[in-house]
Amino acid sequence: MAGVGVEPLQGMVRFGLLVLTVCAAGARGLYFHIGETEKRCFIEEIPDETMVIGNYRTQMWDKQKEVFLPSTPGLGMHVEVKDPDGKVVLSRQYGSEGRFTFTSHTPGDHQICLHSNSTRMALFAGGKLRVHLDIQVGEHANNYPEIAAKDKLTELQLRARQLLDQVEQIQKEQDYQRYREERFRLTSESTNQRVLCWSIAQTVILILTGIWQMRHLKSFFEAKKLV
């Protein structure tokens, strides 16, 4: 019975891990607490040309009932997104519950920040907000039931569309991993070059110091007529 080579197995394992990573990282749901005008930021690694959808809703702490209740319509949330170069991709004011969407054009770490613009005295009196945030990346951001209804797709056609989107997202993830590897390689080469230059500089300084010490000692001995 013919055995399977090590390299093909390693390639299959890497591909499987990448698929699991893409599927696991497609959507992130969490909640956090913020105070008056406090800003909370998150870092999301996103490949280029990838759509990201964020859904959020806020709850306000009720001191009398000691429970989080849905926020009033007058409460606003400001969402700001910056790409790896620090350029603002999205900066917009939303309500107490909303949805924001943007498409990445540069691969890397994107900063997503949210903060409240409310000036209600209840928050100044030690209150707080609970923000529920759900971030969907890539094909997970697609609303497939809506796509199927709009394009009149059968179940088989919809499944094929989902698989094509997943393959496209995996390709983007692979391109992003190559981009990261290239950046890491350039950084490593730059660091090694600097270490080499510093080592050469230290060696030159030591040699020059030794020559100076020998000349100084020779002059000292000649002055004392010991040589």
pLDDT tens digits, one per residue of 126-176: 567 888 998 888 766 667 777 777 777 788 887 887 788 778 778 878 888
Q: What is the pLDDT of residue 198?
A: 93
How confident is the model over 29-63, as pLDDT tens digits? 788 888 767 889 999 888 888 888 899 988 887 77
Q: Which of 101, 102, 67, 69 is nearest to 83 (CA)?
A: 102
Res. 2: pLDDT tops 80: no
Residue environment code for 94-133, b if the CB has 16+ CB neighbours within 10 A, otherwise e: bebbbebebebebbbebbbebbbebeeeebeeebbbbbeb
CB 57 within 8 A of CB 96: yes
* Domain at 30-142, CATH class: mainly beta
φ/ψ of residue 108, rounded to 5: 135, -165
Say how far apart CA 146 and CA 89 lie, in whole Å.
26
pLDDT > 90? residue 18: no
If you average pLDDT over every residue of the chain, what do you get? Answer: 78
pLDDT level of residue 28 (50, 70, 90 thresholds):
low
Query: Residue 196: its pLDDT value, please?
Result: 92
